[in-house]
Amino acid sequence: MKHKNFLNNKISINKFKENKLIVATHNSGKLLEIKNLLQNVGVDIYSSIEMGLPVPKETGSSFEENAYIKSSETTLNSGFASLSDDSGLIINALDGSPGIYSADWSGKNRDFSDAIKKIEYLMKNKTDYSASMICVLCLSWNNKDFEVFRGEMPGKIKFPPKGNNGFGYDPIFIPDTQPFNNLSLTYGEIDPSFKNNNSHRNIAFNKFLKSISKND
């Protein structure tokens, strides 16, 4: 499949008039967060899992390209508008890794405890623990129109992992935005409702929702 140059895409999102939206993910934790963020959009929401759609191969070299691959292929296979999310953890001391390979580091069984142990090992002799969580959304419809929205939350990583909330790398990521001043809680420790309203994903969704509101 030949992918579009999404960075130069100038399609107006005002063309989006769909009433059914497929969330292009097979990640149950991510799906829950996305459904919560989409609850007031006013469209019927389904997931790739519910639609029995295959998992697209993420062959891109950036979050934006992988998000586009997932949403465009989901739209192609389903015939409906699709919203994808490609997200991950960028660690400055590891030259941006795991980055777009954040999920791959967890292995075929998506065991993020193994990925976290790998990061802890690689960080043994590092002094810079700064990191960022990235979320890129891509909305595709009509098999040709699409738009991307990027959100980023700066912060740092810390070991050992703490907290049982969230998913993925949440237990080791301490976001700059905290519930109260002078706190250093991981996403795993932060109340999910606070995370949903202040995360990298929320930043991307606010950009998405602002664009959707242009249709009103």
Task: Provide the annotated active-site residues.
Answer: 86
Output phi, psi for 141, to 5 deg: -160, 160
Beta bridge mates, 148: 138
Residue 193 CB-density burial (10 A; 0-12 exposed, 13-18 middle, 19+ buried) = exposed
Say if CB 169 and CB 117 are below 8 A apart. no
Pair type for strands 173-175 and 145-157: antiparallel
Total residues found in the chain within this entry: 216
Residue type, 127: T
- ω into residue 160 within 30 of 0, thus cis? yes
**Sheet arrangement for strand 44-47:** 44-47, 20-24, 81-91, 130-141, 145-157, 173-175
Residue type, 22: I
Q: Is the dihedral of CA 120, 66, 153, 93 positive or negative?
A: positive
Structure tokens at 42: 């006013």
